[in-house]
Amino acid sequence: GIPFDAAVTNRPGARFGPQAIRRASTILDNDPQYPFSRDLFEHLAVVDYGDCLLDSGNHQKTPATIER
C-alpha cells in the first residue's frame, strides 16, 4: 500500500486507505454474504508486503520510492 495524502490540503485521510482495505478484505474469507462459487484463496495467490515506507519530509522523492 501507498499511505500518501500530502497532495491534498483540506481532505487528508488517503494515507489510511491501505490499512482500511486490509481490514475490509478479512471478511471475504468464506463469508456467506459473499456467495462466491469457489474459495477465493484456494485459487488466488494473495501476498501483502505491507505499506511502502515514505519520507514525509521529501515529497519529491516519493514517486521514485513507490516505483522501487
Residues 6+ apart with CB under 8 A from 22: 1, 48
| Nearest CA among 9, 19, 16 for reference residue 50 | 19
**What are the start-end ranges of the H helices in the chain?**
17-25, 40-43, 62-67
Domain that holds residue 44: 14-67
In a domain? residue 5: no
Predicted pLDDT of residue 46: 77
In a domain? residue 38: yes
- Residues (pLDDT < 50) of the chain are none
In a domain? residue 3: no
| Count of structural domains within the chain | 1
In a domain? residue 36: yes
Predicted pLDDT of residue 34: 63
Predicted pLDDT of residue 13: 81
In a domain? residue 6: no
Predicted pLDDT of residue 48: 85
